[in-house]
Amino acid sequence: MTTAVQLHRVTPARVLRSEWHKLWTLRSTWINLAATAALTLAMGAGISAAYDGTGEGHLDTVVFVLLGTQFATVNLAVLGILATAGEYSTGQIRATMTAVPRRLPVLWSKAAVLAAVAFPLCLWTNLLTFPAAQAFLDGTDQSAALGDPGVLRGLVGNAAGLTLLAVTALGIGAVTRSVPLAIGAYIGLVMIVPELLKMLPHDVVRDAVDHFPAQALQSLTATDSASPGASLLALTLWAAAALTAAAVTLRRRDV
């Protein structure tokens, strides 16, 4: 009897393996990840091929090359939301929480699996997109090499930032338990609220906007960023806040 109980005992490793299996067996996961990489690479190469060096102002080189990651901020967020809110929409969450009655290991495992998938994907996509784009930018003001100051840090920082945004979306999905509502809340937080706050005539508000997710991601990506560490910390705190809210929700509300 003791052996049988130990054989079926819930452990963190088994919960993690279960969440990994659930994520990778969904066709939507493969489509989402493929679309994220393809859009980033295609847009980076496309805008670089069309660039003639006559644009007004100067956009940071890495930010310019990785403009396609604007799609990634949404695609990966949807993947994170589906990992949590998607289970509530299908009713699968009941089986999950029955198997893991403590609940919180499920949340931590979902976040860990998502991060383990998102970061390598974003990093390798960035490392492919940069040289592909630079092949068209030679001789322009956007020409740069991987070894130039801040370039590699910007590529890695962008991948880390996108991963933290995906984890933030996962937490929002766990709180709202609704895919449409979670997507709306995420888009509002990332794209709409900062623009509205910028209209307020207060310097402290405009300074705070710099630490919102999208603005922190751009600062983390830029080669000439004055405070990449602060931007990374801001994104980490957003993800931590979303996961904390999700954990409280899981503990206090019925499935």
- Rounded to whole angstroms, the Cα distance separating 49 from 133 reads 7
- Find the domain containing 204 and state its range: 2-252
Task: Look up the pTM and report it.
Answer: 0.91
The pairs formed by 214-218 with CB atoms below 8 angstroms and a separation of 24 or more are 214/73, 214/190, 216/161, 217/73, 217/158, 217/161, 217/162, 217/165, 218/63
Nearest to 160 by CA among 231, 61, 226, 240: 231
Greater confidence (207 vs 228) lies with: 228
Lowest mean pLDDT segment, chosen from 52-56, 84-88, 172-176, 185-189: 52-56
Number of domains in the chain: 1
What's the rounded mean pLDDT across residues 108-133?
95
Question: Per-residue pLDDT tens for 53-98?
Answer: 766 557 899 999 999 898 899 999 999 999 999 888 888 888 888 8
Distance CA 192, CA 181 (A): 15
Of 154-168, 180-194, 233-247, where does mean pLDDT reach its minimum? 180-194
Sorting pLDDT into bands at 50, 70 and 90, what band is 2? very low
Q: Give the pLDDT confidence of 233-246 residue by residue, as tens digits.
A: 999 999 999 999 99
Work out the pLDDT band at 41, boundaries 50, 70, 90.
very high
User: pLDDT at residue 173 above 90?
Assistant: yes
